[in-house]
Structure 1
Amino acid sequence: MPAEKGQVYVVTGGCGFLGSHLVRMLAERSRNVAEIRVFDLHLDETLRTLSTDQVKLTLIQGDISSPEDVRAALVGGDVVIHTASLVDVWGRVPASKVTKVNVTGTENVLRVCEEEGIQYLVYTSSMEVVGPNIHGDPFYRGNEDTEYNIYHDQPYPLSKSKAEKMVLAANGKKINGGKILYTCSLRPTGIYGEGHELMRQFYKQGLRTGRRVFRAIPPSTEHGRVYVGNVAWMHLLAAHHLQERPSALGGQVYFCYDHSPYKSYEDFNMEFLSACGFRMISSRPLVPYFLLYLIALLNSLLQWLLHPFCIYAPILNPYTLAVASTTFTVQTDKAERHFGYKPLFSWEESKRHTVAWVKSFEEGEKSR
């Protein structure tokens, strides 16, 4: 059972997109937390303002792939929420670095939990440990038990899949002090919301084309999206109930979901970009799929040829094209059944918050 008060929570990757939302929510909504340790390679100093008389917030700079740094951050902790991850599906960083952060970093966290007797670990995984696969097989309204042809050939999904397997395999392991380690894994689909860097890139790209978005993917392609605030909320609930009911949550995986509509990535992004005067050109793809695939292959070839001289990493490559053009939607209530999760933010609230953030780009453009 969790202590009534005075717990130490450690959030790895706590200054990232999801991590910072999680830290803020933990600081605002926690009832039995004495300290929140935010561990990240790049610190967000604005998070220091979250410290109160009741909850101390500590920023710790360090590298998740360094055993020494991880130990310094985790020692004395009670609960670890491990969100630290290197997300790269474009080839912007070497595959070895993706593996070092996502796999070796998770190994370091598990080792310190074992040696320091830290009993509870919630891991932020990804839908990409399942798919979409590169064959384009749809995952339509699937759940945690849906059979699917999982096939990975890219560093990011490979690394997340391996890390998740390690986390789940560690559940029930005896650790220092005669305790038992309990773990669970959360798999967000495409996260959106304030601070989503890819949305910022789409905005800038749209400005270069006169606020016009050219359809590339059929609108019939659907993807599951989930608001960052609801993903953070699910993590907090999972961390709490993992302590209260470890035998029920331990070793389990949960998709992160809410009431966001199923749409193609392009149509979903337009829910926010249209508020800034962006408009979608054509109701059907303007470029045939085979031509998009040839462009994606050409981008991969150029990336390989230019690698010795510079980093060439466009958004479109064979993997991102496969993901964007493959239906992947989740329909499940497992988190609700196991630990009472319900979205904290409705779709209308999630949209309003995200639109307000996107509109803030407008102010930035006007001030230049």
Structure 2
Amino acid sequence: MAAWSCLVTGAGGFLGQKIVHLLAEEMELQEIRVMDIAFKPELLEEFSKLQSKVKVTVLEGNILDIQCVRQACQGTSAVIHTASIVDFNEKREDVIMNVNVKGTQHLLEACVQSNVPIFIYTSSLEVAGPNSYKEVVQNGHEEERRETIWTDPYPSSKKIAEKVVLAASGWTLKNGGTLYTCALRPMYIYGERSQYLLSDIKRALNNNGILDSFRQFSIVNPVYVGNVAWAHILALRALRDPKKAPNIQGQFYYISDDTPYQSYSDLNYNLSKEFGFSISAGISCPLFLLYWLAFLLEMASFLLSPIYRFHPPFTRHIVTLTNSVFTFSYEKASRDLGYKPLFSWEESRQKTMEWIGSLIKEHKTLKRKMH
């Protein structure tokens, strides 16, 4: 097999970092180009340690900069596109749409111009929903063709971008070759360095170790970050295989693992109970009331918009997302990509707990210094 190279966008992110580390183990890989708007010094140090295995080229740049994107793609064999803006407070609607949709289009066009034949897109479960907290979806699958109804910037931008990516499969490259694309839709991703988990734990640390119970009505199948990264590696291998690629191009895959089905609140509790954390025992508001309160807050935001920008603390989309029964099978990924979770639930839990332990230690040290 000839030497090859891969560009990873969003390489400074929670998932991107894991993908880069797993990529470094791939056969005949000559170069990994890591691209992000900025990298933390400690991450650059981590990446420099990989130089003994593979050449790591750091590219700081914006995917909205066409010139920068073209240079990043030049002479590359594949693109793994994880870069996107996730903002559930929807404070930057135009930025979210631009980065998530236009940025993806820029990358696809650059692949055509630079003859990059493989494009793997990190999509989102939110492309599929949930659309109603009353609807129960258990072990959903790709053939159901579910689609979000929400017009909030994040789910709608991911839905549009995924469609663009899948429609680009089969495009003719400048040199006459063919572009092969596919998309992966991970469940809610947890693991060390998760920004959501970080904010949940920090809130609990400032509240005597009591975790929020806002999301207790959900039943989901969260997925460990290492397993999502592994699915990207397997998709890359499959698209590089001339026999497998035709069956995979233009397809999307749900990515879950063997983490037990549970609510978001229970996941946080199961990852932190050994440190003495507990779930808030407060009286929970009935879901229908929460939903209509969100509606009223959205109406207030709309009516005030000509004179004042009011961002509701939560929306109907957030209430639905965090309180639905919404689980999916990884059977298709297993069949087509040969995907099997690389990390068991026990390993995933252990790795995440060790990280939570380090956060608690940091918090205690900071408290001591303040006193």
TM over 0.5: yes
Q: Which residue of 1 aligns with 2:55?
A: 56
User: Structure 1 residue 31: deviation in Å?
Assistant: 1.3
Are 1:65 and 2:61 matched, yes or no? Answer: no
User: Structure 1 residue 139: deviation in Å?
Assistant: 2.1
Q: Structure 1: how far apart are the matches of 2:236 and 2:339?
A: 12
**Aligned positions of 1:1-368 closer than 5 A:** 4-27=1-24, 29-44=25-40, 45-93=44-92, 95-134=93-132, 136-148=134-146, 150-219=148-217, 221-244=218-241, 245-282=244-281, 286-297=284-295, 300=298, 305=304, 314=313, 316-368=314-366
User: Structure 1 residue 207: deviation in Å?
Assistant: 2.3
The secondary structure found in structure 2 opposite 1:57 is strand
Q: Structure 1: how far apart are the matches of 2:198 and 2:279?
A: 17
User: Structure 1 residue 257: deviation in Å?
Assistant: 1.2
Alpha-carbon contact 2:138-2:326 (below 8 Å) kept: yes
The secondary structure found in structure 1 opposite 2:330 is coil
Alpha-carbon contact 1:92-1:311 (below 8 Å) kept: no
Q: Structure 1: how far apart are the matches of 2:105 and 2:122?
A: 14
Alpha-carbon contact 1:272-1:351 (below 8 Å) kept: yes
Aligned-pair Cα RMSD in Å: 2.2
Alpha-carbon contact 2:219-2:261 (below 8 Å) kept: yes
1:287/1:275 CA distance change after superposition, 3 Å = same
User: Structure 1 residue 243: deviation in Å?
Assistant: 1.1
Q: Structure 2: how far apart are the matches of 1:194 and 1:164?
A: 27
Q: Structure 2: how far apart are the matches of 1:100 and 1:134?
A: 27
1:117/1:158 CA distance change after superposition, 3 Å = same
Q: Structure 2: how far apart are the matches of 1:42 and 1:214?
A: 32
The secondary structure found in structure 2 opposite 1:104 is helix
Question: Which shifted more, 124-133 or 266-275?
Answer: 266-275
Letter paired with 1:34: Q
Gaps of 5+ in 1: none
**For each residue in 1:199-226, what CA deviation from the matched residue of structure 2 results, as whole angstroms up to 9, or x when unmatched?**
111112112322123533455x311210
TM-score by length of 2: 0.91
User: Structure 1 residue 312: deviation in Å?
Assistant: 5.0
User: Structure 1 residue 12: deviation in Å?
Assistant: 0.6
Q: Structure 2: how far apart are the matches of 1:117 and 1:228?
A: 30
Letter paired with 2:49: L
Question: Which shifted more, 270-279 or 167-176?
Answer: 270-279
Alpha-carbon contact 2:210-2:277 (below 8 Å) kept: yes
**For each residue in 1:299-351, what CA deviation from the matched residue of structure 2 results, as whole angstroms up to 9, or x when unmatched?**
5467665997788564x332111101111100231111112111000000000
TM-score by length of 1: 0.91
Letter paired with 1:271: N
Q: Structure 2: how far apart are the matches of 1:147 and 1:103?
A: 21
1:312/1:363 CA distance change after superposition, 3 Å = farther
1:216/1:84 CA distance change after superposition, 3 Å = closer
User: Structure 1 residue 297: deviation in Å?
Assistant: 4.3
% identity of equivalent residues = 36
Alpha-carbon contact 1:223-1:263 (below 8 Å) kept: yes
Q: Structure 1: how far apart are the matches of 2:206 and 2:364?
A: 16
Q: Structure 2: how far apart are the matches of 1:184 and 1:259?
A: 23
Q: Structure 2: how far apart are the matches of 1:214 and 1:55?
A: 43
Q: Structure 1: how far apart are the matches of 2:74 and 2:46?
A: 21
Q: Structure 2: how far apart are the matches of 1:6 and 1:302?
A: 58
1:91/1:11 CA distance change after superposition, 3 Å = same
**For each residue in 1:148-207, what CA deviation from the matched residue of structure 2 results, as whole angstroms up to 9, or x when unmatched?**
464121111111111111111111111111101001110001000011011111112112
Q: Structure 2: how far apart are the matches of 1:218 and 1:115?
A: 48
Letter paired with 1:70: V
Alpha-carbon contact 2:255-2:330 (below 8 Å) kept: no
Q: Structure 2: how far apart are the matches of 1:258 and 1:210?
A: 32
1:225/1:363 CA distance change after superposition, 3 Å = same
**For each residue in 1:7-49, what CA deviation from the matched residue of structure 2 results, as whole angstroms up to 9, or x when unmatched?**
110001111010011111111x211211000010011323432
Q: Structure 1: how far apart are the matches of 2:359 and 2:107?
A: 37
